Structure 1
């Protein structure tokens, strides 16, 4: 487990050089030695995925318009989400590995952000050309998926690189908050933008209006790409000024190393995929669900459907601080799973206002994200975190790809009640996995459910142990240097009887300083041997 970062020192893993920046570079906001600079960098980290999150849920925001303007069924519509997830069943894992071992974090961020830009441009252009080019929208979502989740892996890696220990949960929460701000903004402005374009460009066909509206997301993807460029510059400067050392273990990290990931990691991955399979696919079809069961208007259904993201934008940092201060990640994961299960039961079997269920889901979703994702950093070595996060998101996207296909089929065959039953089953599996994770953690002593104070105490003990080992290592090196200065010409000279006797005693009792003590040690040794024999 990593050390917490003190407010007066540099991040863990950074070694401060003796030279301080000068000029405007010495200002607190731009000085890598200063804590304020790290939070300045955090703003760019948070906006790295803003554009991709905005574009990811564009089909949900314009679900009714897409199905009508492009003349597609519910299963064809949900295919837009499946095609995003399918490449990430493999690429997320390889994306994390490429970030770790091939591209590097900085170049990898820009490469994957570029895939998002190109992919959404193809989606928008396909809609602009009309229903006959719906295949182009599907292809664009596939290309968009090549970058979207791997970009999130890079974002997580940046967060772990700049923030560790007690700050990490809060940073993950804030990062999620900004990302979901993009999703919330998308849910609430895309329908007004579509209607505005429709009234402004009356000569346009409906599908052309749809295509023009989708280009808004293309511009925001470019904005996120520019944040990636800024992160390249800031991270490279910090590495130069702080003499940042790349963490190496001397091991050759291979993709097959995932075989040695502990059981707790795989249980955590099961919770991840089952929990999110009950949230994201629901949001994808939620707008039409609210319009059908509760007779909400288009704008009211969009607002209600976005409430999960809206709440997470504000609640995620608070939940992150809560988990930071108290620990007990597994307990919070269990609470969030139960809360989300209750919200789906309310939506499925009651006519209570859906606002209550969606508010519960929003709070639990925020708490789950802040408790779940940082646990990977407690389980996996830091030099394999990119691969670990990639594997988690690969498993998650495999589940989401299947879940969205199942959702489309269930809606067409049996309606939304059976769809809610499917979500409830997913959450029951996640709940069982939470209990298993608690038992595995208790058995192996990983410490995922420890309180923050207990973790701090263990960290202090590990630091003391590391310092003792370092001092012993230093003493050993000094001893070797002393032996290197021995005059071997003296050792090869003939010795008298006293010198030979002292030489013999030095083997019997090497710590004794006087011949009398050597004699006593030898006598005791012989007496013990006789007793044993």
Structure 2
């Protein structure tokens, strides 16, 4: 203990200040260097937000370069969508193991650095697959990238809880989500333009230009790795100075708990899977859809395809506050799913300006995330939360992996209209599950649709 105090004093420095200063007393740290000061914690928050920027930037690289990937690598849509499926496959398992690896094996600091390395290496392998004209290498790169991507998000949230417990936490989560969506948006609008510029300056085969473009995108992953290293240093330094514990996820995963899950929780899982499989695979294939059906130029198609992320960046914190203040989670989920259904029907059966449908989709996507995911905590005991959220993410990734492949097959054989009808069917199943959840919750006297005031009264009655 004395050695730790000595090290803390060494970090603080020993400098007498003024005539009355006691020799050997720790000097006051500048605000930016003091872990207990807001200014220092804002620096840490900035690094936390950038930590996931590279991962989210590179996740949708295939969507931003859909035409180029299919043309340069000479693959059909089914094979193209494998780039998304291979990202999701490892996360069917890692959603359970990520928190365990952080808590028990690596620790938050080493865990974050290791997962950031997986993201960097995966993106580099993905780019090399283009350079060497080897699609199997691109698939391997996406698999490695997937190993790091979702687990890095777990590490990011763990850092947030460790540094910003209390009232600031919801705002911090909102800011992290906003930065993630900014990363996706920048990617959608930059990579196509970057490919064109490299094509104009390099007289090389198309696959080489594709590989170089993707390798430049890898720079954002290196930035995230740098942030992981700086965060690890700052967290260790704060631990020495403030004697705080290293961050833990708090998730205790016990697969045996699955047998105890209630019917409302299973309905939440169904809503989640059926909804998200109509969002991410659609965005993955959306650029060419807007070019073919609505006649958009490549850059304009990228812009409209990124609208969901553009809207999500500012609106996620706003909707989060709205749901917190009003409660009524099932009603908000119902509104979100119904609006998404309308959006897909507009895109499928009309030639109306697609900006309208995509803006509605962006709003509903943001609202659903804020209203659906917290419901798990209302129907699951605290000791089973880690298992419930892990299982929810696991089956979501399983659904995305399977539906990504299926969506590619439908597009190759039937075209975009059939694909949109398929997405409408998925959202309709999600809507049916929401209605069932409302009925079951009402019949059982559940609290999923309580107002914020009712929840506060329930909390007070339990504490008494």
* TM-score, with length taken from structure 2: 0.86
1:331 is displaced (CA, Å) by 2.3
Q: Do the aligned residues in 2 keep the contact of 1:115 with 1:143 (CA within 8 Å)? A: yes
Q: Aligned with 1:447: secondary structure?
A: coil
Instruction: Find the aligned partners of 2:208 and 2:128 in 1 and give their Cα distance.
Output: 9
Give the 5 Å matches for 1:401-440. 401-440=401-440
User: Which residue of 105, 108, 119 maps to 2:108?
Assistant: 105
Pair 1:166–1:251, CA change in 2 (3 A): closer
Q: Quick check: 1:166–1:324 contact (8 Å CA) kept in 2? A: no
**5+ unaligned residues in a row in structure 1: which ranges?**
1-20, 466-533
Q: Is the 8 A contact 1:47 1:178 kept in 2?
A: yes
Q: Distance in 1 between matches of 2:234 and 2:386?
A: 20
Map 1:238-277 → 2, pairs under 5 A: 238-239=238-239, 243-244=243-244, 254-277=254-277
Specify whether residues 165 and 252 from structure 1 end up closer, same or farther in structure 2 by C-alpha distance, changes over 3 A only: closer
Q: C-alpha displacement at 1:38, in angstroms?
A: 4.8
1:49 corresponds to 2:52: yes
Larger Rg over CA atoms: 1
- Distance (Å, rounded) in 2 between the aligned partners of 1:164 and 1:440: 34
Aligned counterpart, 1:76: 79
Deviations 1:39-79 (CA, angstroms, capped at 9, x unpaired)? 54333332222111111100000000111111111111111
| Residues 421 and 143 of structure 1, relative CA distance in 2, 3 Å threshold | same
Displacement, 1:33? 4.3
Separation in structure 2 between the aligned mates of residue 114 and residue 281 of structure 1, nearest angstrom: 26
Distance in 2 between residues matched to 1:231 and 1:383, nearest whole Å: 29
**Conserved in 2, the CA contact under 8 Å of 1:170 and 1:324?**
no
Partner of 2:174: 173
Structure 1 residue aligned with 2:215: 215
Cα distance, 1:63–1:334 mapped onto 2, change above 3 Å: same
State the alpha-carbon separation in 2 of the partners of residues 437 and 233 from structure 1: 46
Q: CA deviation at 1:98?
A: 2.7
Contact 1:319 1:370 (8 Å CA) reproduced:
yes
State the shift of 1:193 in Å. 0.7
- Kindly tell me: are residues 266 and 235 of structure 1, through their superposed partners in 2, closer, same or farther at Cα, counting changes over 3 Å? farther
Alignment match of 1:60 (pick from 63, 81, 84): 63
| Distance in 2 (alpha carbons) for counterparts of 1:309 and 1:65 | 22
- Whether the aligned pair in 2 keeps the contact of 1:95 and 1:150 (CA below 8 Å) is yes
Please tell me whether the aligned partners of residues 169 and 370 of structure 1 are also in contact (alpha carbons under 8 angstroms): no
Q: Kindly tell me: are residues 26 and 438 of structure 1, through their superposed partners in 2, closer, same or farther at Cα, counting changes over 3 Å?
A: farther
Change (3 A) 1:239 1:77: same
Is 1:280 the equivalent of 2:283? no
Contact preservation (8 Å) 1:153, 1:390: no
What are the Cα deviations for residues 142-176 of structure 1, in whole angstroms up to 9, with x where unaligned?
11111112222333344444456765544433222
1:157–1:385: 8 Å Cα contact kept in structure 2?
Answer: no
**So what's the TM-score if we normalise by structure 1?**
0.75
1:496-522 CA deviation, whole Å, 9 max, x = no partner?
Answer: xxxxxxxxxxxxxxxxxxxxxxxxxxx
* Local SS of the residue matching 1:102: helix
Structure 2 portions without partners, runs of 5+? 1-11, 13-25
Query: For the structure 1 residues 438 and 163, does the alpha-carbon distance in structure 2 shift closer, same or farther, using more than 3 Å as the test?
Result: farther
Cα distance, 1:141 vs. partner?
0.9
Contact 1:375 1:448 in 2 (8 A): yes
Across the aligned residues of Structure 1 and Structure 2, the Cα RMSD in angstroms comes to 3.0
Q: What's the offset of the Cα at 1:180?
A: 1.0
Distance 1:26 1:278, change over 3 A: same
Tell me how far apart the structure 2 counterparts of residues 258 and 234 of structure 1 sit (CA, whole Å). 38
The Cα shift of 1:312 comes to 1.0
| Mapped partners of 1:245, 1:340: distance in 2 | 43
